[in-house]
Amino acid sequence: MDWGSFAFVFLAGLVTALATGIGALPFFFVRDVSDRWNVALWGIASGIMLSASVFGLVLEALSAYVRVSLSGVSVSSVPTRTLLLLLVGLLAGVLLVVVAHRVIEGAEVNPRQYEEADFRKLLLILGVLTVHSFPEGVAVGVAFADLGLEGGFRIFGVAVPLLAVFMTVAISVHNVPEGVAISIPLRSMGVSNPKLVWWSVFSSLPQPVGAVVAFYFVRVARDLLPVGFGFAAGAMVYLVLAEFVPEALERGADLPNGGRSELLAGIVAGVVVMVPLLFV
């Protein structure tokens, strides 16, 4: 077993977790982040996640049969088995997020209690957050399926797949507005700036774990890669539709047109930033 590859994937997942802490940094300089900027950030995150899911993960699952280039899209006959595996993965990813939402809604976790949380309570909090952020780590881990093989970027002497870079950037950017969202209620409770960063990062710590678990899965069961890609894509698309967009619209409820203009502009910006990477 190549422990160096697992360490590399864990570090990539840790980068995405640390990016959540960036969302707390504005509070070092201002008391609040405007609703307009919050909506735009959620929109950018949504655009990036949708691009990464559809143009990254789904196309990668069908890469042997679908070719995308500047000259157009070429499609050859996709085996029924591949399509079924992809569909199973998509449905499993959606199911995980649905279950995660129910667990989160049924768990009463008061951020004020973080300060006094004993070991048992910290385990409960971490368990809830694991269900919430684990799918994002899975997306990172699956994207590293071809780590060390020919092609991709050379990083520290290791061949890293373009999809892995794409996904790590996508999840990291998504985590920034999530860090903002976590910090807002904590700031209102008087939590100090350094602890805002800590709790923001803490909320995403399950991601490197999810990345390693998913990477192990796709390494030992490469025939089931479409399931892995579909799982990550289904989870991410459902997260965008069920969580990011409603969160953005809630933040923008008092803006003109309910913040829909800022949300749409953010989504378009996220897509425009990420899609060109397909042609690198």
With a cut of 70, say whether residue 26 has pLDDT above it: yes
Contact 229, 60 (CB under 8 A): yes
Per-residue pLDDT, 68? 57
Phi, psi at 195, each rounded to 5°: -75, -25
Residues in CB range of 242: below 8 A, 6 or more apart: 97, 101
Share of the chain above pLDDT 70, in %: 77
DSSP 114: G
> pLDDT, tens digit, for every residue of 207-265?
999 899 888 888 877 777 788 888 878 888 888 888 778 888 888 888 888 889 999 99
> pLDDT, tens digit, for every residue of 249-270?
888 888 888 889 999 998 998 8
Per-residue pLDDT, 111? 45
> pLDDT, tens digit, for every residue of 123-148?
555 555 556 677 788 888 888 887 76
Residue 250 C-alpha from the chain's centroid: 20
Amino acid at 200: S
Per-residue pLDDT, 265? 93
Residues in CB range of 179: below 8 A, 6 or more apart: 19, 20, 21, 22, 23, 24, 200, 201, 203
pTM of the model: 0.68
Residues in CB range of 176: below 8 A, 6 or more apart: 19, 20, 22, 23, 41, 45
Per-residue pLDDT, 16? 92
With a cut of 80, say whether residue 78 has pLDDT above it: no
Per-residue pLDDT, 97? 77
> Of 110, 120, 159, 143, which Cα lies nearest the Cα of 228?
143
Per-residue pLDDT, 149? 65
> pLDDT, tens digit, for every residue of 166-186?
888 888 887 887 787 677 667
With a cut of 80, say whether residue 90 has pLDDT above it: yes
Question: For 187, left (φ over 0), alpha (ψ -120 to 50), or beta?
Answer: alpha
Q: Which residue in this structure is represented by tokens 């569909």?
A: 87
CB burial class (10 A; 0-12, 13-18, 19+) of residue 235? buried
Pairwise CA distance, residues 104 & 111, whole Å: 14
Per-residue pLDDT, 208? 92
For 35, how many CA atoms within 13 A lie in the half-sphere containing its CB?
Answer: 15
Per-residue pLDDT, 212? 92
Per-residue pLDDT, 12? 92
Per-residue pLDDT, 196? 85
SS3 156: coil
